[in-house]
A = this chain, B = another copy of it.
Amino acid sequence: MSTAQAREPASPESNPLFLQSVARTLRVLEAFTQLPRPLSIAELSAAAGLDKSAGQRIVHTLQALGYLERSSAGLVPGKKVLYRAFDYLRMNALVESATPVLHELRKSVKERVDLSLLDSTNIVYAVRLQSKRENFPATLVGRRIPTFCSSGGRAMLAALPEEEAMQILQQSDRRPLTPKTITEIPALVDKIREARRDGYALALEESALGEIVLAAAVLDIHGRPVAAIHAAGSLSEWKEETFRRRISPLVMEAARALSHTYKHG
């Protein structure tokens, strides 16, 4: 096509119903994912692929609406984004029913337990009950990590039709998060097969060093994986085998209790 200088890279949605003004707005808010610090208008504009003027207008509007705030060092996300997360969480029946189950689980395993949701190549933490002091961002709701290298992600991949799982693996950005992250497709396929056999998945220091995580998938009424229950321990306190033996039945039971109940989708 000879539109030499296309303004937007022919937005993935060349659908006439796709509004670039909406996409631009959200790209501004998404800038903080790459640059998690107070940003200037110019930085936000650049990160969103906008010129100064467009950035100025969008920032001004988002600020007026409470989705951006001014701090002494620049613009930061506004409290309104928390309201939107609340809307998500309160409407999610799975999050609701998982909360008491996770509390029970937390009591018996005495380690950090989480509920994560499958979002294609990533998983997002939706409920988190931490135990000890840990690296701060790692413990927050909304954190996302790649599906392929998390125990929960692999537990869900194991419950997906093989073809879909392969697709996700191939679409994933498989850069390692730690030196121990498994990144080769064949090795990952092995781990997934293992998870399918065992009913749970295990990740050893793949997203954080010193951390052992065990997870089982939560299935919806059609048998599709929609979430996972995680339990995370420290390798300074657990041997792999003990962790598997003691924790896996509890995690699997919790996941089973939540499976097949709601339509979740």
In the complex, what distance in Å separates the CA atom of A126 from the CA atom of B117? Answer: 21
Of B32, B79, B83, B136, the residue contacting A87 (CB under 8 A) is: B32
Instruction: For A100, list chain B residues within 8 Å (CB).
Output: 133
The interface residues of chain B lying within 8 Å CB-to-CB of A79 are: 88, 117, 119, 124
Residues of B within 8 A of A60 (CB): 13, 15, 17-19
Name the interface residues of A4-25: CB closer than 8 Å to any CB of B. 12-13, 15, 17-19, 21-23, 25
In the assembled complex, the Cα of A13 lies from the Cα of B91 at a distance in Å of 31
Q: Is A19 in contact with B57, judged by CB distance below 8 angstroms? A: yes
Q: Interface code A84-101, partner B: CB below 8 Å = 1, 0 otherwise?
A: 111111111000100110
**A residues neighboring B (CB under 8 Å):** 12-13, 15, 17-19, 21-23, 25-26, 29-30, 32-33, 36-38, 56-58, 60-62, 64-67, 71-72, 76-92, 96, 99-100, 103, 117, 119, 124, 126, 133, 136-137, 139-144, 263, 265
